[in-house]
Amino acid sequence: MNKVEAIVRPERLEAVKDALSEAGFVGLNIVSVTGRGVQKGIVHSGRGGEEYRVDMLPKSKIELVVKDADTEKVVQTIIQASRTGTIGDGKIFVLPVSDAIRVRTGERGDAAI
């Protein structure tokens, strides 16, 4: 099993969620994060005319654990639904998972996800 962590634009979140659900991946979690990318955020003009860097922008992190075999499909689904082609589109990371347990039933492994 793998854990897929995708950092996406909040305004694309609905689209990604819908796409995942259509592709059969219903279970997931969303975490609100703030993220900094290579372009170091944006420059903002404050009330008093001062300009400063806002480096941390709001992002949504989607987390879901999937079977090894499904990993690539999930990654592609997310990319398709979230890409706008402009800076700040985000990243997807894949982490190995050694075990999964469904609390309700105690099922483990692939059966649990």
Partner 1 sequence: MPEISSGDTAWVMMSAALVMLMTPGLALFYGGLARSKHVLATIMQSFFMLGVITLVFVTVGYSLAFGPDHYGLIGDFSWVFLQDVSASEPGPYAATIPHQTFVIFQAMFAIITPALITGAFAERAKFSTFLIFMILWSLLVYSPVAHWVWSLGGWLGGLPEENGDVGIGALDFAGGTVVHINAGIAALVAAILYGKRHGFGREPMEAHDITMVVVGAALLWFGWFGFNAGSAVSAGALASNAFVVTHIAAATAMVVWVALSWIVQGKPSVVGAAAGAVAGLVAITPASGAVDAMGAIAVGAGAGALCYLAVRMRSKVGLDDSLDVVGVHGVGGAWGAIATGIFATATITGGAEGLLKGDSAQFFDQLIGVGATMLYSLVVTYGILKVLDLTIGIRVKEDEELMGLDASQHGERAYQLETGGSYAGIPVAQANGAPYTPAPSTSPSEARS
Ligand X SMILES: Nc1ncnc2c1ncn2[C@@H]1O[C@H](COP(=O)(O)OP(=O)(O)O)[C@@H](O)[C@H]1O
Distance, in Å, from the CA atom of 91 to the CA atom of 78, rounded to the nearest integer, reads 10
Residue 82 contacts a copy of itself per CB under 8 A: yes
Among the candidate windows 62-70, 82-90, 95-103, 105-113, which touches partner 1 by CB under 8 A? Answer: 82-90
Q: How many Cβ atoms from other residues are within 10 Å of residue 101's Cβ?
A: 13
> Which CB sits closer to partner 1, 2 or 60?
60
Residue 108 contacts ligand X per CB under 6 A: no
**Residues in 9-68 at the binding interface with partner 1, rule: CB under 8 A:** 9-15, 18-19, 30, 32, 34, 39-55, 57-60
Residue 43 contacts a copy of itself per CB under 8 A: no
Q: How many Cβ atoms from other residues are within 10 Å of residue 107's Cβ?
A: 13
Residue 104, SS3? coil
CA distances from 28 to 54, 71, 74, 94, 111 (A): 29, 14, 12, 14, 15
Binding site for a copy of itself (CB under 8 A): 1-3, 6-8, 17, 21, 26-31, 33-38, 40, 55-56, 59, 61, 63, 65, 75, 78-79, 82-104, 106, 112-113
